């Protein structure tokens, strides 16, 4: 596995993967320095993440290879379908996946998402609209949602 570290507005981000695709993207709370050179197999992921943070990308198309159970992958596939700038709740996600009672399992799979930002678990909020738990910290979740939601322009007329 190859690894690269890039600086983002939310902290140093670690990207891990190989020829089969990116297996993990995570943000570090402290330590580390950005990579001086990026391994070829991670170059497209690095470029697309930088474009996302610059406000020039709404989705990701690089090769991905996250590790997880079949159920987790099913949840992560559903997360990818949440449109940029939109949110859903754990309950809505559970219903979409066919079992409203699976809400805790869906939340657990969401929390184990290995592809930070790319599989947009930050777009899942509480049924009441609250910013519920987020592995990267609620301040990062809030930042990501604000980054993806353009400010409302008020009309003068």
Element (H, E) at 16: strand 11-18
39 backbone dihedrals φ, ψ, rounded to 5° = -60, 140
Q: What is the mean pLDDT of residues 117-141?
A: 90
Instruction: Indicate the pTM of the whole model.
Output: 0.90
Closest to 14 measured CA to CA, from 49, 51, 55: 49
Q: Which residues contact 132 (CB under 8 A, 6 or more apart)?
A: 90, 124, 125, 126
- Residue range 56-91, pLDDT digits in tens: 999 999 999 999 999 999 999 999 999 999 999 999
> Order of strands across the sheet with 2-8?
2-8, 11-18, 21-27
Name the residues annotated as catalytic: 121
The structural domains of the chain, ordered by start, are 2-53 (3.30.160), 70-148 (1.10.10.10)
Q: Is 35 left (phi over 0), alpha (psi -120 to 50) or beta?
A: beta
- Please say if the pLDDT value at position 97 is more than 90: yes
Closest to 58 measured CA to CA, from 89, 83, 76: 83
Q: Report pLDDT for 153.
A: 55
pLDDT band at 133 (very low <50, low <70, confident <90, very high): confident
Please check whether residue 148 is in contact with residue 52, taking contact to mean a CB–CB distance below 8 angstroms.
Answer: no
């Amino acid at each position: 596995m190859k690894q690269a570290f890039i600086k983002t507005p939310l902290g140093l981000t670690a990207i891990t993967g190989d020829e089969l695709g990116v297996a993990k993207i995570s943000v570090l709370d402290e330590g580390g320095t950005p990579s001086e050179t990026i391994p070829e197999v991670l170059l497209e992921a690095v470029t697309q993440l930088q474009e996302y943070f610059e406000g020039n990308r709404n989705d990701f198309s690089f090769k991905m290879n996250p590790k997880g159970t079949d159920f987790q992958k099913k949840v992560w596939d559903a997360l990818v379908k949440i449109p940029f700038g939109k949110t859903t709740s754990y309950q809505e996600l559970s219903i979409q996946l066919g079992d409203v009672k699976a809400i805790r399992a869906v939340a657990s799979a969401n929390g184990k998402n290995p592809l930070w930002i790319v599989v947009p678990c930050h777009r899942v909020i509480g049924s009441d609209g609250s910013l519920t738990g987020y592995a990267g910290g609620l301040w990062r979740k809030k930042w990501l949602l604000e980054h993806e939601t353009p400010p409302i322009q008020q009309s003068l007329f």
